[in-house]
Amino acid sequence: MFAVIKTGGKQYRVAANDLLKIEKVEAKVGEIVEIGNVLAHGEGENVTFGTPFVDGAMVTAEVVEQGKNRTVIAFKKRRRQNSRRRIGHRQLLTTVRISEILLGGAKPSKKAAAKPEAKAEVAAEAKAEAAPKEAKAKKEAKAEVSSEEAKAAPLFKAPKGEPDDLTVIKGIGPVAAKDLAEQGIVTFAQLAKLTDKDVAKIDEHMPFSADQIKDWREQAKELAKK
């Protein structure tokens, strides 16, 4: 049996045990989520359509993973205004495995088993709550300071000497050059020597896609020779 569901503004055709990436739903790994917006269901040529949803129909799914999609770049520029804007967006996604397709108001027949990771997380939280309040406050304060320091630290260490004009590279404007400089990338040689691991790091923390960075890397290799 299959069903057509609607979630996150999109429609999906699903069957039991299908693995599916949908827009983020608030649930922990291992939990069962219910999707009540069933547009149609059927088996073979026998299909029932809803108006717009099928009464009493529901699809349950187990949350497998919470993650993000790859970065999407939106670039806007107005002619003769010297105005441009670059925005990066990474959509939050939830990976789910379809458990059951329920009809006629039927209730889910099974619940998801607790994951080992979830058990360990609960145990750690219980242990932290049992600790003295003063020690817990110190630990939280230390973690907060470490987090702020990590946010402030650039991804790379800028070399000494005169920086290069990165806007010479096609695709890097003043805004992108400033963003790169803030993360310690200021020369053609640095861009040329970026490893695939470095590219993945930039893709994760900055509003640039891996394809963009690899293109800049190839251009920088030629400029670094001059």
Average pLDDT of the chain, as a whole number: 83
Give the DSSP H or E segment for 2: strand 2-7
Residue 150's pLDDT is 46
Banded model confidence at residue 14, pLDDT cuts 50, 70, 90: very high
Give the DSSP H or E segment for 43: strand 38-43
Residue 107's pLDDT is 85
| Phi, psi (deg, nearest 5) at residue 161 | 110, -175
Per-domain residue ranges of the chain? 2-113, 119-152, 166-225
Task: Kindly report, residue by residue over 153-169, the tens digit of the pLDDT.
Answer: 788 888 888 899 989 89
Residue 144's pLDDT is 61
Residue 206's pLDDT is 84
Secondary structure of 62-77 in HEC code, one letter for each residue: EEEEEEECCCEEEEEE
Nearest-angstrom CA–CA distance, 210 and 218: 12
Which of 13-27, 73-87, 153-167 is predicted with the least confidence, judged by mean pLDDT? 73-87
Banded model confidence at residue 115, pLDDT cuts 50, 70, 90: very low
Task: Kindly report, residue by residue over 29-75, the tens digit of the pLDDT.
Answer: 989 998 889 999 998 888 999 988 999 899 999 999 999 888 888 88
CATH code of 166-225, in short, is 1.10.150
Residue 119's pLDDT is 56
The region, left, alpha or beta by phi > 0 then psi within -120 to 50, assigned to residue 215 is: alpha
Q: For the chain, percent helix, then strand, then coil, each to nearest 5?
A: 35, 30, 35
Whole-prediction pTM: 0.44
Q: How buried is 59 (Cβ within 10 angstroms: 0-12 exposed, 13-18 middle, 19+ buried)?
A: buried
**Is beta strand 83-89 parallel, antiparallel or unpaired with respect to 72-78?**
antiparallel
Nearest-angstrom CA–CA distance, 25 and 119: 21
- Average pLDDT, integer, range 139-158: 65
